Amino acid sequence: MTAELYAALDEGQRAAVLAPAGPVCVLAGAGTGKTRTITHRIAHLIAAGHHAGDEVLAVTFTTRAAGEMRTRLRSLGAGAVQARTFHSAALRQLAYFWPRVVGGEMWPVIEHKMRLVAAVAKRVGAGTDTPTLRDLASEIEWAKACLIAPDDYLRAVGTLQRATPVDAQTVARAYSAYESAKTDARQLDFDDLLLHICAILENDEDAARPFRARYRCFVVDEYQDVTPLQQRTLDAWLGGRDQVTVVGDANQTIYSFAGASPRYLLDFERRYPHATVLRLERDYRSTPQVVTLANRVIAGASGATATKRLTLKAARPDGPDATFEEHPDEPAEAAAVARRAKALIAGGMSASSIAVLYRINAQSEGYEQALAAEGVPYVVRGGERFFARADVRAALVELNKVARAEVARAPAAGDSDTGAAESGAADAAFDGETGLVPQVRAVLGRVGLTPTPPPPGALRDRWDALAALVSVAEELSAVDASATMTTFVAELAQRAQSQHAPSVDGVTLASLHAAKGLEWDAVFLVGLTDGTLPIQHADTPEAIEEERRLFYVGITRARSRLMLSWALARQEGGRRVRSRSRFLTGLVPSSGVRTAPGARGQRHKPGRCTGCGGPLATAAEIKAGRCQACPSTADPGLVAELKAWRKGRASDASVPAFVVFSDATLMAIAERRPCDRAALLAIPGIGRSKLDTYGSEVLSIVAGHAAS
């Protein structure tokens, strides 16, 4: 490396690059140039003679990031370095060792495991619909990433109090059958690549010796999100050595649901007491306005990750202040975002430098429609367009059948056998219901629309998509009381056609998880209500803190313009019972909120203790509505009644008690004594799903206790 390349680094980056060989931990905040730092450190280690290029293995989490790293290394004269994902590196190594250690040709890798999952699901009596299969596959992947064997699965989920998307007993049977079927077929999945290379390097010294002679230095990016399986792989590669550089940011730990854990980053110094630890906090991505807001959000974090908290310092000049907008309902919010995006593009900003970020993929549909209505091109990242989703296509098939049967029942339809059959099916589906909306609900009930939403997971994603179709029927009925299934299907077809926007230079629509590692000039953070961010099933302190970090990740995606918004109701004209996200408490004064037309009536107040009136700092205090210094006002008798009810409900559903309501949520109910659904929904930890499932019972208990 030349002196000019060293001079181009800032003081923190240069310290990380020039750190001595051995264990190094670089705590790198968002926008601080971590990829630049990693690649320059590798080039320095080679130039200084510590390692040859082909002795270095750099691993990261996406093929895109690995490709970017290889490009930069080539430009620094370090093209011999391997930069791969964990799985890509393990596949290459296993292909070499398998014939020598196992013998014979390496078993093929299953690229699409759903067919095998479907076969074992049928065998163990589980559902075979696509959402259930996805949930089973995800749960198996989580177990393997956490090094949990099939025989240990039930004990592990019980110990961890994990709310499984499919019944835990069913998952355990499916997991065991999946592993057996895979072995019988002499196949591997991607997690097996890591498991097998670990086993070879841990147990076969003849294989491990030449491997460790070849690879002497390791660099791991995004270290805050490694899983136990990936850490075991790294340990097997190292073989007790300490030539490792890790780079991570505890503030951006957002994949715990997939088995990732920040503890390896947090405990790095404990494992390597002589490690060099450096911090990168100078942010070159975002304006001071964005950086200040991000710092204020993460300053409220608690728990283990807060011990490695980074405070960003903006290197860019000032930009516009972040904006906060409140809307009467979600359609109004989406329409406002679409108009604002259109105006930015008209002002010279490219569509590809704009992003709309939301918590869950089901939120994309409203923004797809709104952008299409404004003629703004868009790209959905990390998911299909709404009308291209398999569950939506299946629903459209059923709706079209009923629409054709509706036409067949008309006098001009004649005596067609097909029409008669479809007509009979339609009559059976309606079961006496009249009106478009009940008919649509009845038809969609055949493809997964249940009266109450399922737990989080693929089944819930399908339910949300089907519920969105019902909302279209409701909108159509509101403007045309005589609307039929035929007109409804025609409306859906028209909407699907209008959403076929070009995929080039389009506004990015993405979930906050899918946005990790990316950046845009302008970012809209939407749907910022309690129950959505934090998500309603985040009812433990750890889960709430991960939601806070997810919000932080969203903010730090913006380079210069950041627009935050929320809606008080889901549907147009609906009851405005939502509260803006608790993460916004204290960030912005009331005068700083732009209230959209029709959004008046927001009852939310900044978090203040109901006892002393002081500010509420932690997630637990916000949920309770009081600070730790003030005593609880809950009636012990009411708390006991609520806990007894919860125990019975949990027993009936065969789930842990916390899945119904956490202790903190029960205490908040007992303290606030809600008298109606709106008051109950305002309690943090209670979202629309739990309100629909448990609301009437809880309100009855509270009212009965008050009467007695």
Percent of the residues in the chain that have a pLDDT greater than 70, as a whole number: 85
Place of tokens 């309603």: 536
pLDDT in the model for residue 248: 92
Place of tokens 């792989």: 233
Q: How wide is the angle at C-alpha 63 spanned by C-alphas 60 and 69, nearest 5°? A: 60
pLDDT in the model for residue 612: 54
The mean pLDDT value for 501-510 works out to: 63
313 SS3 class: strand
Q: DSSP strand E in 221-359: where?
A: 244-248, 276-280, 282-283, 313-314, 323-327, 354-358
For 593-623, b/e burial (b = at least 16 CB within 10 A) is beebeebeebebeebbbeeeeeebbbbbbbb
Q: How wide is the angle at C-alpha 150 spanned by C-alphas 146 and 155, nearest 5°? A: 75
pLDDT in the model for residue 660: 85
Task: Work out the pLDDT band at 591, boundaries 50, 70, 90.
Answer: low
Q: Count Cα neighbours of 448 within 13 Å in the Cβ-side half-sphere.
A: 26
Q: Which amino acid is at 411?
A: P
pLDDT in the model for residue 500: 31
Task: Work out the pLDDT band at 708, boundaries 50, 70, 90.
Answer: low
Position 630 pLDDT exceeds 70: no
The mean pLDDT value for 471-500 works out to: 75
Task: Work out the pLDDT band at 28, boundaries 50, 70, 90.
Answer: very high
What is d(CA 195, CA 183) in angstroms, rounded to the nearest whole number? 14
pTM score, two decimals? 0.68
The mean pLDDT value for 515-520 works out to: 89
* 615 secondary structure, DSSP code: B
Quote the tokens at residue 507: 């506004």
Position 410 pLDDT exceeds 60: yes
pLDDT in the model for residue 384: 54
pLDDT 10s digits, 208-266:
999 999 999 999 999 999 999 999 999 999 999 999 999 999 889 888 888 888 899 99
What is d(CA 167, CA 165) in angstroms, rounded to the nearest whole number? 7
Task: Work out the pLDDT band at 456, boundaries 50, 70, 90.
Answer: low
pLDDT in the model for residue 462: 80
Beta bridge partners of 378: 507
pLDDT in the model for residue 482: 82
DSSP string across 280-299: E-EESSS-HHHHHHHHHHHH
The mean pLDDT value for 603-611 works out to: 48
- Total residues found in the chain within this entry: 708
pLDDT 10s digits, 411-444:
654 444 444 444 444 444 444 456 798 989 999 9
378 SS3 class: strand
5 vs 301 pLDDT, higher one: 301
Picking from 111-115, 147-151, 334-338, 399-403, which range would have the lowest pLDDT averaged per residue? 111-115
What is d(CA 597, CA 588) in angstroms, rounded to the nearest whole number? 20
Position 565 pLDDT exceeds 80: yes
Task: Work out the pLDDT band at 494, boundaries 50, 70, 90.
Answer: low
The mean pLDDT value for 358-382 works out to: 84
pLDDT in the model for residue 418: 43
Task: Work out the pLDDT band at 613, boundaries 50, 70, 90.
Answer: low
What is d(CA 282, CA 702) in angstroms, rounded to the nearest whole number? 52
Picking from 24-28, 431-435, 646-650, which range would have the lowest pLDDT averaged per residue? 431-435
pLDDT in the model for residue 358: 94
Are 332 and 572 in contact by the 8 Å Cβ rule? The answer is: yes
pLDDT in the model for residue 475: 76
Percent of the residues in the chain that have a pLDDT greater than 90, as a whole number: 35
Position 604 pLDDT exceeds 50: no
Distance, C-alpha 145 to centroid of its chain: 17
Distance, C-alpha 623 to centroid of its chain: 22
Task: Work out the pLDDT band at 691, boundaries 50, 70, 90.
Answer: confident
pLDDT in the model for residue 273: 92
pLDDT in the model for residue 623: 54
For 454-491, b/e burial (b = at least 16 CB within 10 A) is bbbbbbbbbbbbbebbbbbbbbbbeeeeebbbbebbeb
Task: Work out the pLDDT band at 606, boundaries 50, 70, 90.
Answer: very low
DSSP string across 429-498: HHTT--SHHHHHHHHHGGGT--SSPPSSSHHHHHHHHHHHHHHHHHHHHHH-TT--HHHHHHHHHHHHHH
73 vs 622 pLDDT, higher one: 73
Quote the tokens at residue 278: 């450096």
Task: Work out the pLDDT band at 334, boundaries 50, 70, 90.
Answer: very high
What is d(CA 662, CA 667) in angstroms, rounded to the nearest whole number? 9
What is d(CA 681, CA 696) in angstroms, rounded to the nearest whole number? 12
Task: Work out the pLDDT band at 5, boundaries 50, 70, 90.
Answer: low
